[in-house]
Structure 1
Amino acid sequence: MIDHLVYATPDLDATVADLAGQGLALSPGGSHDGRGTRNALADLGGGAYLEVLGPDPDQPVPGEPRPGGVDALTAPRLVAWATPVADLDDAVAAARARGHDPGAARDMARLRGDGVRLAWRLTPMPATVPAVLPFLIAWGDTEHPSVSAAHGARLESFTVAHPDPAAVRERLAALGVTDLTVEPAPEPALRAVIRTPSARVELA
């Protein structure tokens, strides 16, 4: 159900250091060329991972807003999540037939620090954060990032909150997600609890 969680930050190095201090180790990911961002990753078990996403100072400012609402952040925030699909075009068509348009698929790629090129396809990360609905992602033949991410952490829980839980569940079902907890709340929110060998880390 969960491919990865996106924890966006205005300062990637500072956030990685802060999470490490809480017991959550991350490994360097890579730069997203043309998007103005780079990331760090932690395996969460079960084929899921955490992506900490921030501005890449080695890239020029992109011509469009950075993903995850990074440009507007003043502090780290859990902003989005992705659900995996085998065939992205089929999944998009199925969601549209059920009344929800996840957006047009696009190709993405980045180089890992060891020079390995990762390539994948995804629908757009929602522009409004936190995004209670996931974006869709298909990795094809590329090695899943959880394999090479820092190990040791496990996702203990992930919940979505929204003023209209029934409407969110309906759209989640259109995306093929039927087993996620959606709680009532005054405002949209995401919350993840991650268990590490030495601590329990909460991201919201």
Structure 2
Amino acid sequence: MSIPRLLDHVVIAGPDLASLIDWFAERTGVVAAPGGAHPTGTANALVALTVDGSRGPQYIELIGPDPDRTRPAVPTTFGIDALTEPRVQAYAVHPDDIDATVATARANGYDPGDVTDLSRRTPDGTLLEWRLTRGEHHRIDVPFLIDWGHSAQPGLSDIPTIELVSLVRTEPDPTPLIGILNAFGLGDGVAEVIEGEESGLRLTLRTADGEVVEL
């Protein structure tokens, strides 16, 4: 089992949020709960993760274009504008000190980007505010950092759950990405990178009836 120690959430993106929710439900038996809309033109739905029998705070974020967005252009967040089907696109980690982790990464040769503010409202109107990095050139093969501050972490809210078995990154040549991840100084807080034919994240879940599903 390989689970990043500092995992906050896993991002599964798709070109249409409603279809993405159906896709996830067909494979796992879990219907994600509505999360809310972002100022970036995206909206999400959420599923909490259980790890070693414990609930959260880790979770899965299903994200796609907000059907009620004011601008017709498809958002570029997580490469949504280039997707034709759902894909496990990214993951976030929550270091103890986000600013110190950014400084460490920069000192070690990788710039994860400035820490910026973002927010969304939940379906009941609650405002969630957090800080995050967007990554060098917005690349999504490297985890972004997140700090929820005083907001409640979504993985602990009253949403459906599913068991997390593992999350790993595959790369034809793992060495360059491993070097970048090492720059953060987070040890096993980030996903393991292994050799594979294609670049991508491999998310493995266990359903309520014990079936193991790889996405």
TM (normalized to structure 2)?
0.85
Deviation at 1:125, TM superposition (A): 5.3
Does the 8 Å CA contact 1:37/1:66 hold for their aligned counterparts?
no
| From 188, 193, 197, the counterpart of 1:182 | 193
Partner of 1:143: 152
Does the 8 Å CA contact 2:43/2:66 hold for their aligned counterparts?
yes
Q: CA RMSD in A?
A: 2.1
| From 3, 6, 15, the counterpart of 2:11 | 6
After alignment, is 178-187 or 13-22 more displaced? 178-187
| From 82, 98, 118, the counterpart of 1:72 | 82
| From 45, 55, 66, the counterpart of 2:65 | 55
Relative to structure 1, the CA distance from residue 158 to residue 101 in structure 2 (aligned partners, 3 Å threshold; closer, same or farther) is same
Relative to structure 1, the CA distance from residue 162 to residue 3 in structure 2 (aligned partners, 3 Å threshold; closer, same or farther) is same
Does the 8 Å CA contact 1:69/1:127 hold for their aligned counterparts?
no
Partner of 1:161: 170
Relative to structure 1, the CA distance from residue 191 to residue 17 in structure 2 (aligned partners, 3 Å threshold; closer, same or farther) is same
After alignment, is 6-15 or 85-94 more displaced? 85-94
Partner of 2:20: 15
Residue identity opposite 1:113 in structure 2: P
Question: Does 1:173 find its partner at 2:185?
Answer: no
Partner of 1:116: 126
Which blocks of at least 5 consecutive residues in structure 2 are unaligned?
A: 1-5, 51-55
After alignment, is 189-198 or 109-118 more displaced? 189-198
Aligned residues with identical type, % of pairs: 42
Q: Where does structure 1 differ by over 6 angstroms across 4 or more consecutive aligned residues?
A: none
Relative to structure 1, the CA distance from residue 48 to residue 170 in structure 2 (aligned partners, 3 Å threshold; closer, same or farther) is same
Relative to structure 1, the CA distance from residue 66 to residue 151 in structure 2 (aligned partners, 3 Å threshold; closer, same or farther) is same
**Secondary structure of the corresponding residue to residue 154 of structure 1:** strand
The whole-number CA distance in structure 2 between the counterparts of 1:42 and 1:83 is: 17
The superposition leaves residues 47-94 of structure 1 with CA deviations (integer Å, 9 ceiling, x where unpaired) of 211000000121122789431111111101111111112332222111
Relative to structure 1, the CA distance from residue 25 to residue 64 in structure 2 (aligned partners, 3 Å threshold; closer, same or farther) is closer
Relative to structure 1, the CA distance from residue 42 to residue 101 in structure 2 (aligned partners, 3 Å threshold; closer, same or farther) is same
After alignment, is 69-78 or 157-166 more displaced? 157-166
TM (normalized to structure 1)?
0.90
Q: How many residues align?
A: 201
Deviation at 1:192, TM superposition (A): 0.2
